[in-house]
């Protein structure tokens, strides 16, 4: 190996150490890639080819598709039934991992994880579970599910293509990989269930606030709503974090003892007390609308409105006057939903509340309200509540149809994933399932930069000869120890490479070495290819080896060491399973 190889290996180790110390992967990988270019290890074109890579662009398009589904609430009702209301972490993991792994065995796991990350994050908050104990298992479930069929992941198809190119007479059936994949999936899920509590609890800075603002909010059950006839428990209104249902008004009768088995009726007014984040959750439940009649008189369509917090300024003309006397909606084009004053919520009918300086008003209005009144002397502070626009539930079937069409076109190989994802993203915009602003906001640039840079680092490892030298050395050491040891060395070499470079590149690099060693050791090529497929997807110990790991890295608040601590034991558990079953069946 020449000096370029040694330099690339040293640089890669330095990047791993930097990320292990908590530095952002996108900055570390981009910095390392720039150093490789300056050293002449890799050309500029190859270094930054990741920015035009189909995988990275597919992830970007899928972020937009996922946002379209989210903005319409398309998966809310379905996932609420599937995910349910788990009482324990183990129950939550089973409810999440089983369907994800099954779907991932038939569909590329990248779009699944892209759509599930925001859903699981919201679900974790409602179930009062740390999202950091659910997102790594989400990624692992999608990876393990992809090892159960030939079409489960692109790595399998890459290896199969190389095998057919080497010997067109060799065939691998759709479910041949299941002999290894299904046991691996079951063992992997068992490990996650046992070890999940060792994952860190990083619930976020929001929980460190001493006393968040609480509001009293009244919501009305619309006619024809899906929640009519459901109990409080079944409608998902009992376990919203930071929110408490204090009373129900029905036909003029007020009930304060609201049990979980109370059934909802058309026209019920539900009075909640809670923080603004949970008020946002209420707005995502179809059939519930703010109970004030002023909401219906706003000119902006409801799906275009958002929640805004505005603080009444000292000397404002709002001081000392009731909301009704002010004609607030007519004057400002916004409806007051709730009022917070001096660390306490203000109850009573909104129209009767007399406003005072320092009151925080929770408004429903067009986002343009912020632009118009941010510098107005009537308000001391005006801020938009992020993610508070109510879903366009009427467009939910359309959004789901777009996703189903995208998946079908990809699964039937009518269109490549990138083309199908771009068409789906465009369809989301054209049908107004989401706006251009929402689409731009959905793009997680840190994830996309890290994925693109990872391809460049992979190219540097390949072109410098470092990757081939490492893989070749491992395989050669095992040859004298017999066929099982050779099979194990193929697995280990591929597994180590897939943690440092992309899974497809790792499998492609090991394949020619695997063929040479198998021919020298009289090992059948098909079983060895199946083992290579399994190892190519066995990326559990670092966030940079597999796209889905990178996709959950930021939203879960993880550090590089979290993957090492949780993933390395899983690697040690799964490797003997794959090698042992393969040896027993085919050697």
In tens digits, the chain (587 residues) has pLDDT values of: 788 888 888 887 887 777 667 677 788 888 888 999 999 888 888 888 878 877 678 778 877 887 887 778 766 666 667 787 788 999 999 999 998 998 888 776 776 787 788 778 878 877 788 999 999 999 999 999 989 988 777 788 778 877 887 788 888 887 899 999 999 999 999 999 999 999 988 754 334 334 456 787 888 888 877 788 888 887 777 766 667 787 888 887 877 767 778 888 888 888 887 777 777 777 777 778 887 766 666 666 666 778 888 999 888 889 988 888 888 888 888 888 888 887 666 777 788 889 988 888 988 888 888 888 888 888 988 888 876 676 777 788 888 889 888 878 877 778 877 888 899 999 999 998 888 888 888 887 877 787 678 778 767 877 888 777 776 776 677 777 888 998 998 898 888 878 877 677 677 767 777 787 787 777 888 999 999 999 988 889 988 778 788 888 878 888 888 999 999 999 999 999 999 999 999 87
**Within a domain: 400:** no
Nearest-angstrom CA–CA distance, 408 and 345? 50
| pLDDT confidence of residue 209 | 37
**Within a domain: 96:** yes
**Do residues 16 and 122 both lie within one domain?**
yes
Q: Which two tokens stand for residue 144?
A: 């393990």
Tell me if 47 sits within 8 A of 456, measured CB to CB: yes
**Do residues 568 and 478 both lie within one domain?**
yes
**Within a domain: 258:** no
Listed residues 390, 406, 427: the one ending a domain: 390
* Total tally of structural domains belonging to the chain: 2
Nearest-angstrom CA–CA distance, 153 and 421? 16
Q: Edge-to-edge strands of the sheet including 214-221?
A: 253-255, 243-250, 269-275, 214-221, 288-290
**Residue with the two structure tokens 């789901």:** 400
**Do residues 451 and 384 both lie within one domain?**
no
**Looking at the DSSP assignment, which residues form a beta bridge with residue 311?**
360, 381
**Do residues 86 and 184 both lie within one domain?**
yes
Tell me if 33 sits within 8 A of 457, measured CB to CB: yes
Helix 417-430 vs helix 54-72: crossing angle, to nearest 10: 30
Helix 445-463 vs helix 3-20: crossing angle, to nearest 10: 150
**Do residues 24 and 117 both lie within one domain?**
yes
Q: Compute φ and ψ for 51, nearest 5 degrees.
A: -75, -15
Q: Compute φ and ψ for 273, nearest 5 degrees.
A: -125, 125
Tell me if 124 sits within 8 A of 134, measured CB to CB: yes
C-beta neighbour count of 370 within 10 angstroms: 17
| pLDDT confidence of residue 80 | 66
**Within a domain: 498:** yes
| pLDDT confidence of residue 239 | 64
**Within a domain: 124:** yes
**Do residues 15 and 160 both lie within one domain?**
yes
Alpha carbon separation from 171 to 42, 66, 168, 478 (Å, rounded): 36, 36, 8, 27
Nearest-angstrom CA–CA distance, 430 and 423? 10
Residue 160: which of 152, 148, 150 has the closest Cα?
150
Residue 199 buriedness (CB in 10 A; 0-12 / 13-18 / 19+): buried
Provide the CATH number for the domain around residue 341.
Answer: 3.30.70.1450
For the chain, the first-to-last Cα distance in angstroms comes to 33
**Do residues 74 and 165 both lie within one domain?**
yes
Residue 174 buriedness (CB in 10 A; 0-12 / 13-18 / 19+): exposed
Task: Look up the domain containing 317 and give its range.
Answer: 305-390
**Do residues 381 and 482 both lie within one domain?**
no
Tell me if 102 sits within 8 A of 185, measured CB to CB: no
Nearest-angstrom CA–CA distance, 183 and 212? 47
Alpha carbon separation from 231 to 263, 274, 282, 426 (Å, rounded): 4, 20, 16, 39
Listed residues 366, 390, 414: the one ending a domain: 390
Q: Compute φ and ψ for 522, nearest 5 degrees.
A: 60, 35
**Rg of the chain's alpha carbons, rounded to an integer?**
27
The torsion angle over the Cα atoms of residues 360, 364, 370 and 376, rounded to 10 degrees, is -50
Residue 455: which of 541, 568, 550, 565 has the closest Cα?
550
Helix 483-500 vs helix 445-463: crossing angle, to nearest 10: 130
Q: Name 458's Cβ contacts closer than 8 Å, sequence gap at least 6.
A: 500, 501, 502, 505
Nearest-angstrom CA–CA distance, 250 and 552? 44
Q: Largest Cα–Cα distance in the chain?
A: 91
Q: Report the predicted TM-score, pTM, of the whole model to 2 decimal places.
A: 0.65
Q: Which two tokens stand for residue 350?
A: 């909104």
**Residue with the two structure tokens 């915009």:** 429
**Do residues 156 and 25 both lie within one domain?**
yes
**Do residues 64 and 149 both lie within one domain?**
yes
Residue 108: which of 55, 64, 60 has the closest Cα?
55
Q: Which helix (H) or strand (E) holds 254?
A: strand 253-255
**Residue with the two structure tokens 């699944």:** 112
DSSP labels, 386-422: TT-SPP-GGGHHHHHHHHHHHHHHHHTTSS-HHHHHH
Alpha carbon separation from 203 to 22, 83, 124, 388 (Å, rounded): 17, 20, 10, 20
**Do residues 145 and 15 both lie within one domain?**
yes
Q: Which two tokens stand for residue 317?
A: 């003309």
**Within a domain: 493:** yes
**Within a domain: 9:** yes
| pLDDT confidence of residue 527 | 92
| pLDDT confidence of residue 211 | 47
Listed residues 342, 371, 390: the one ending a domain: 390
**Do residues 369 and 452 both lie within one domain?**
no
Which is it for strands 306-312 and 269-275: parallel, antiparallel or unpaired?
unpaired
Nearest-angstrom CA–CA distance, 8 and 421? 34
Which is it for strands 379-384 and 306-312: parallel, antiparallel or unpaired?
antiparallel
| pLDDT confidence of residue 203 | 59
**Within a domain: 128:** yes
**Residue with the two structure tokens 């050779």:** 486
DSSP labels, 336-402: EEEEEETTEEE-S-GGGPBP-TTPEEEEEE-THHHHHHTT-TTEEEEEE-TT-SPP-GGGHHHHHHH
């Amino acid at each position: 190996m020449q000096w370029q190889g040694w330099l690339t290996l040293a640089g890669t180790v330095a990047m791993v150490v930097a990320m292990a110390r908590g530095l952002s992967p996108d900055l570390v990988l981009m910095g390392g890639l720039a150093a490789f270019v300056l050293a002449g290890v890799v050309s500029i074109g190859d270094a930054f080819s990741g920015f035009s890579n189909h995988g990275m662009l597919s992830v970007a398009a899928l972020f937009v598709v996922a946002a379209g589904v989210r903005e319409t609430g398309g998966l809310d009702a379905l996932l609420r039934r599937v995910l349910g209301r788990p009482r324990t972490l183990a129950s939550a993991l089973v409810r999440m991992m089983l369907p994800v792994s099954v779907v991932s065995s038939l569909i590329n796991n990248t779009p699944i994880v892209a759509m599930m990350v925001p859903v699981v994050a919201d679900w974790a908050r409602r179930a009062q579970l740390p999202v950091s104990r659910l997102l790594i298992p989400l990624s692992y479930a999608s990876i393990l599910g992809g090892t159960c069929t030939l079409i489960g992941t692109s790595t399998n198809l890459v290896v199969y293509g190389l095998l057919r190119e080497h010997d067109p007479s060799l065939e691998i059936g759709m479910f041949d990989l299941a002999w290894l994949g299904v046991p691996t999936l079951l063992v992997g899920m068992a490990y996650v269930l046992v070890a999940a509590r060792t994952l860190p609890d990083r619930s976020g800075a929001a929980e460190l606030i001493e006393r968040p603002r609480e509001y009293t909010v009244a919501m009305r059950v619309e006619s024809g709503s899906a929640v009519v006839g459901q109990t409080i428990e079944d409608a998902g209104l009992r376990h919203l974090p930071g929110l408490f249902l204090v009373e129900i008004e029905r036909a003029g009768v007020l009930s304060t003892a609201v049990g979980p088995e109370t059934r909802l009726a058309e026209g019920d007014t539900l009075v909640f007390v809670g923080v603004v984040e949970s008020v946002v959750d209420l707005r995502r439940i179809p059939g519930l609308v703010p109970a004030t009649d002023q909401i219906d008189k706003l000119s902006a369509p409801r799906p275009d409105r958002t929640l805004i917090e505005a603080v009444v300024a000292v000397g404002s003309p709002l001081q000392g006057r009731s909301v009704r006397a002010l004609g607030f909606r007519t004057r400002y084009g916004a409806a007051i939903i709730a009022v917070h004053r001096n660390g306490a919520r203000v109850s009573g009918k909104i129209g009767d509340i007399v406003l005072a300086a320092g009151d925080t008003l929770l408004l429903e209005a067009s986002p343009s309200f912020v632009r118009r009144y941010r510098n107005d002397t009537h308000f001391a502070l005006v801020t938009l509540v992020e993610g508070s626009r109510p879903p366009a539930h009427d467009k939910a079937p359309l959004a789901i149809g777009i996703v189903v069409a995208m998946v079908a076109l990809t699964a039937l190989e009518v269109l490549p994933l990138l083309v199908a994802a771009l068409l789906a993203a465009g369809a989301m915009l054209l049908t107004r399932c989401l706006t251009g602003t929402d689409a731009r906001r959905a793009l997680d640039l840190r994830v996309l930069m890290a994925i693109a840079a990872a391809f460049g680092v992979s190219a540097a490892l390949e072109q410098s000869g470092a990757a081939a030298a490492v893989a070749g050395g491992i395989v050669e050491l095992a040859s004298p120890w017999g066929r099982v040891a050779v099979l194990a060395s193929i697995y280990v070499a591929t597994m180590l490479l897939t943690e440092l470079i992309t899974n497809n590149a790792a499998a492609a690099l090991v394949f020619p070495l695997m063929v040479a060693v198998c021919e020298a050791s009289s090992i059948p090529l098909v079983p060895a290819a199946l083992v290579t497929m399994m190892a190519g997807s066995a990326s559990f110990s670092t966030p940079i080896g597999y796209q889905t790991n990178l996709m959950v890295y930021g939203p879960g608040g993880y550090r590089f060491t979290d993957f090492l601590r949780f993933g390395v034991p899983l690697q040690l558990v799964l490797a003997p399973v794959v090698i042992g079953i393969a040896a027993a069946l085919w050697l």
